[in-house]
Amino acid sequence: MVGALALIGVTVGLARLRPAAPTVEKASVWLDTVKRGPMVRQVKGAGTLVPEYIRWLTADTAGRVERIHVKPGAQVKADTLLMELSNPDVQLQALEAERQLASALSDFLKLRTELETERLAQEAAVSTLVADSADAQRRAQASSSLQQKEFIGELEARQVTEKSGELEQRLELQRKRLSVVSTSIRERLAAQQSQVDRLQAVARFRRAQVESMKVRAGEDGILQELPLELGQWVTPGVLLAKVVKPEKLKAELRIAETQARDIQPGLKAQVDTRNGVVEGTVARVAPAASQGTVRVEVSLPDTLPKGARPDLTVEGTVELERLGNVLSVGRPAGAQPNATVALFRLMPGGDEAVRVPVQLGRGSVNAVEVVQGLSEGDQVVLSDMTAWDAVERVRLR
């Protein structure tokens, strides 16, 4: 009977004991201590160095690559001939435009001569009528005087007076006709001139098309790309070459979209060129994300470390803000700012770590603010502990 009671007591005691905590190698986890003090919020991202100024040369017209004079990497001037294209159709169109322009100019000169002749003839008619009208007026005055002296009859005097009035009316009509002719000449010449101007514009455009087949750099710099081969056919808009100014570079960083929401132009940044770290300033933030990242442009000083060149892979760090007296700890694996996570806190003076809920605040690249759940001096496990989600404590050895 006593033995049975003892067995029952031992069983109840064992049932009340907590299960043994699983053991985790201490060397395999990352521990950090909660600190109080200043904290710098930063975000990081990889990127490349790109020129501040890039000139893209595209085809204005279709053509075949006949000659390539310069290879990528060469120093070029604005008037350096890079390549030559050919297209007989474009040259024929230019010749046809020149022919139409020459014909229109000839028609304009012919019309101007005809209209000028017509105007001069009308002016001559007006001048003749001016003389005739003046003579008729003098005759009418003389006839009126002779009639008063009864040297001529009334009928003859009236005929002379009516003749003078008729010539005055004809003169007035011819003057109106001269005004109409002059206005018509200006309008017809203006219409013909507009036709000439239109054909001149077409001819200039066709000449520019022919000239554009001699592809020039357009800017002083370095020929970075020329992705064409001899005999290749290109269509309008196709990239022919890219000329850059390598002396002025900027960094284009790709920041994770979850970290880029606080980045604003004007923030300080550091860019690691692998040959040295340079200070910069955020110049532009892309308005939209692409493939999970946001493009951030960082302006850099004119003088960069040796080896800095376009398309060089770099790593950049953008400083968001400096926090004062806050609790902070290293950033746990998979933790996001302003979230609540469960972390294993190391018990003081022991080797056990207990799971505790921790409310996080603002985050940085390698640190995060602790809002609630931990105190200064606490040690926590920052490594991924998802394998131990089913337990509340682990033993570190």
What pLDDT, in 10s, does the model give residues 270-315?
Answer: 999 888 899 999 999 999 998 899 999 999 998 888 888 888 899 9
**Distance (Å, whole) CA 280 – CA 299:** 6
pLDDT score, position 143: 65
Query: Which of the two residues, 340 and 189, has the higher pLDDT score?
Result: 340
Q: What percent of the chain has pLDDT over 70?
A: 87
Domain match, 163 and 135 both:
yes
Domain match, 157 and 196 both:
yes
pLDDT in tens, 127-173: 777 776 676 677 666 666 666 666 566 666 667 666 767 777 777 78
Q: Is the pLDDT of residue 118 over 80?
A: no
Domain match, 275 and 183 both:
no
Single out the residue in 148, 182, 203 at which a domain terminates.
Answer: 203
Range of the domain at 264: 22-51+246-396
Range in 50-54, 76-80, 158-162 with the lowest mean pLDDT: 158-162
Domain match, 309 and 350 both:
yes
Residue 298 lies in a domain: yes
Q: Which residues partner with 36 through β-bridges?
A: 327
Residue 282 lies in a domain: yes
Number of domains the chain is built from: 3
Q: Is the pLDDT of residue 15 over 50?
A: no
Domain CATH number, residue 221? 2.40.50.100
Residue 144 lies in a domain: yes
Residue 143 lies in a domain: yes
Confidence class for position 47, pLDDT limits 50, 70, 90: very high
Domain match, 250 and 329 both:
yes
- Contacts for 311 with CB less than 8 Å, ≥ 6 apart: 48, 49, 50
Confidence class for position 10, pLDDT limits 50, 70, 90: very low
**Distance (Å, whole) CA 55 – CA 71:** 16
Domain match, 303 and 368 both:
yes
Residue 208 lies in a domain: no
The CA–CA distances, whole Å, from 272 to 122, 128, 154, 170 equal 86, 94, 118, 95
Query: Which of the two residues, 152 and 219, has the higher pLDDT score?
Result: 219
pLDDT in tens, 255-271: 988 888 889 999 999 99
Domain match, 252 and 240 both:
no
pLDDT score, position 329: 92
Q: Is the pLDDT of residue 208 over 60?
A: yes
Domain match, 307 and 350 both:
yes
Domain match, 250 and 391 both:
yes
Are 256 and 45 spatial neighbours (Cβ–Cβ below 8 Å)? yes
Sign of CA dihedral 146, 151, 155, 156: negative
The predicted model gives 197-201 an average pLDDT of 92
pTM: 0.59
Domain match, 173 and 157 both:
yes
Confidence class for position 17, pLDDT limits 50, 70, 90: very low
Domain CATH number, residue 332? 2.40.30.170
The CA–CA distances, whole Å, from 224 to 42, 55, 245 equal 34, 10, 10
pLDDT score, position 243: 92
The predicted model gives 222-235 an average pLDDT of 91
Domain match, 357 and 336 both:
yes
Q: Is the pLDDT of residue 337 over 80?
A: yes
Residue 9 lies in a domain: no
β-pair type (63-68, 233-234)? antiparallel
Domain match, 188 and 250 both:
no
Burial of 382 (0-12, 13-18, 19+ CB in 10 A): buried
Residue 75 lies in a domain: yes
Q: Is the pLDDT of residue 30 over 80?
A: yes
The predicted model gives 372-387 an average pLDDT of 89
Q: Which ranges constitute the DSSP H helices of the chain?
A: 2-16, 88-148, 154-212
Mean residue pLDDT of the chain comes to 84
Burial of 223 (0-12, 13-18, 19+ CB in 10 A): buried
3-state SS of 269-336 is EEEECCCCEEEEEEEEECCCCECCEEEEEEECCCCCCCCCCCCCEEEEEEEEEEEEEEEEEECCCCCC
Residue 13 lies in a domain: no
